[in-house]
């Protein structure tokens, strides 16, 4: 895997230390795809990418499924807060383009930390009367849990780190990395 990434920005140093390799991620995504293929065989399923963090995971995951009844949709959520901590105040910034009533919804998320974002989305989707709703998250940080949300599919359970890469950003950067790294900061005086 690549070396640590070191960037100077806004007068401080940003470091991204490799954590989950591209191979580890792709192997796990293949396994999740196979599981989804088994669980949703013959069903009308709407796979929903939660923008923007899940984009890389979503596009890899759907390619690892063999589900002729699968359709894709996109949903935007924003959570207010600092750049590395979620506040729990969630807002829908972009809605689905399809009706989901009576259909099986699969939410594809990048990371579940406090659970507040997914709780908001589950409550919102429930009003639309889908046949079922399941969450497929690439990462889960159990140490951050404030509300328990049911996650049927979890890629990796991780420690309490702020991670970037493979869709996850810091200040809109690092999404394009094919691996996941742990982000840390250094002020010049440190």
Place of tokens 């969450």: 135
Q: Which tokens in the block code for residue 158?
A: 């991780």
Q: Does position 137 bind ligand 5GP by CB under 6 A? A: no
Nearer to ligand 5GP, 65 or 114 (CB): 114
The answer to whether residue 113 forms part of the interface with ligand 5GP (CB under 6 A) is: yes
The residue within the footprint of ligand 5GP, chosen from 48, 60, 114, 179 (CB under 6 A), is: 114
Does 47 sit near ligand 5GP (CB under 6 A)? no
User: What's the half-sphere exposure (Cβ side, CA atoms, 13 Å) at 130?
Assistant: 24
Given a contact cutoff of 8 angstroms between Cβ atoms, the answer to whether 138 and 109 are in contact is: yes
Q: Per CB under 6 A, does 111 bind ligand 5GP?
A: yes
Number of residues that bind ligand 5GP (CB under 6 A): 19
Active site residue 110: no
User: Residue 144: phi, psi to the nearest 5?
Assistant: -90, -5
CB of 26 to ligand 5GP, least distance (A): 20
In b/e form, how buried is each residue of 164-182, taking b as 16+ CB within 10 angstroms? bbbbbbbeeebbebebbbb
Question: Is residue 117 a contact point for ligand 5GP (CB under 6 A)?
Answer: yes
The answer to whether residues 121 and 105 touch, using CB atoms and an 8 Å cutoff, is: no
Residues with a catalytic annotation lie at: 113
Binding site for ligand 5GP (CB under 6 A): 53, 79, 86, 109-117, 144, 162-164, 168-170
């Amino acid at each position: 895997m690549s070396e640590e990434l070191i960037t100077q920005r806004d007068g401080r140093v940003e470091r991204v230390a490799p954590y989950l390799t591209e191979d580890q991620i792709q192997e796990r995504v293949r396994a999740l795809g196979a599981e989804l293929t088994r669980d949703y065989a013959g069903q009308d399923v709407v796979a929903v990418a939660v923008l923007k963090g899940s984009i890389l995971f979503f596009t890899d995951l759907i390619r690892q499924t063999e589900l002729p009844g699968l359709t894709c949709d996109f949903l935007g959520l924003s959570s207010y807060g600092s750049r590395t901590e979620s506040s729990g105040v969630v807002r829908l910034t972009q809605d689905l383009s399809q009706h989901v009533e009576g259909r099986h919804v699969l939410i594809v998320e990048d990371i579940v930390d406090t659970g507040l974002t997914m709780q908001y989305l589950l409550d919102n989707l429930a009003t639309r009367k889908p046949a079922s709703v399941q969450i497929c998250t690439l990462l889960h940080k159990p140490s951050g849990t404030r509300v328990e949300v049911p996650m049927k599919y979890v890629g990796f359970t991780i420690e309490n780190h702020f991670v970037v890469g493979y869709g996850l950003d810091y200040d809109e950067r690092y999404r394009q990395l094919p691996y996941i790294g742990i982000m840390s900061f250094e002020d010049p005086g440190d």
